[in-house]
Amino acid sequence: MNLVIKSVAAIALTVCTAFTHAGAAESAIDQIQKRGSIKVGMSTFVPWAMRDKKGELIGFEIDVATQLARDMEVKVEFVPTAWDGIIPALLAGKFDVIIGGMSITEERAKTVDFTEPYAHSSLGVMASKKVAQDLTWPDDYNSTDVTFVCRRGATPCTYIQNEFPKATLRQFDDQGQTLQEVLNGNAHAMISSQPLPAHTIFANPETAFAPTTDKIEPGNEAFALRKGDLDSQEFFNQWIKTNTENGFLDGRHQYWFGGREWGDQIAE
């Protein structure tokens, strides 16, 4: 199967190169090939990307980017970046592409171009038993007495602001801190991409619960590129199409999101 992947990737790369517009700026694909490595912007977020007990990066995004680099026959270089600054860093040329579980939104599409989706997820809610046990979802949560937390710059922050305008919203750069605020009873609830809320509730049944099991705003995640780089966009779209059809993306997604077989690799 790897030979098939590599062959298709090579063909797509040839097609992209052949159709480069005369006088156009050098594409990310061209830069990657010349450099011999692909620079990937990402931010740690379980189980998309995280550190194992040895400090090495693991997770769904890490598997995706590593396989992409392997098929392109280049090295992969991960560039950890704060989520709220990851698009400005891409535009500044700090890396070639964002592969970090970024949902496609109209607001983001004003400044970056997205590939076709390569993953799909929904938002989930985790609430504190200490301070939110008696609240009814969602009406009681839209109150000045309620505090939500989220990771700064992430889609859930916008969702909370739109759906719970009366509540207080506190934003943190570190996802782990948002979890602790709820687990410690300093905030009533957090909203985040699944399966993080579900996994955290499962591990902390005495302090956390799910006020609703409804799927919230199912989203599509895609690679993000600098505007106007059509050759690179087409190449990545072909890679995503190939690895969707051959089952690679679904298989890795099922491994990282379908359970916690990998749980013993990270520090609790």
Q: Which fold has domain 2-118+222-265?
A: D-Maltodextrin-Binding Protein; domain 2 (3.40.190)
State the CB neighbour count (10 A cutoff) for residue 163: 15
- Tell me, what's the pLDDT at 218? 74
Q: Which fold has domain 122-218?
A: D-Maltodextrin-Binding Protein; domain 2 (3.40.190)
Cα–Cα distance measured from residue 57 to residue 263, given in angstroms and rounded to the nearest whole number:
14
Q: Phi/psi at 3 (nearest 5 deg)? A: -65, -40
List the pLDDT tens digit at each of the 268 positions of the chain: 444 444 445 544 544 444 444 345 789 999 999 999 999 999 998 899 999 999 999 999 999 999 999 999 999 999 999 999 999 999 999 999 999 999 999 999 999 999 999 999 888 999 999 999 999 999 999 999 999 999 998 889 999 999 999 999 999 988 889 999 999 999 999 999 888 899 899 989 999 999 998 878 778 999 999 999 999 999 999 999 999 999 999 999 999 988 889 989 987 6
Domain boundaries, the chain: 2-118+222-265, 122-218
Cα–Cα distance measured from residue 38 to residue 28, given in angstroms and rounded to the nearest whole number:
9
Beta bridge partners of 124: 192
- Tell me, what's the pLDDT at 217? 74
The whole model's pTM is what? Answer: 0.79
Q: Is 62 exposed, middle or buried (0-12, 13-18, 19+ CB in 10 A)?
A: buried
State the CB neighbour count (10 A cutoff) for residue 239: 25
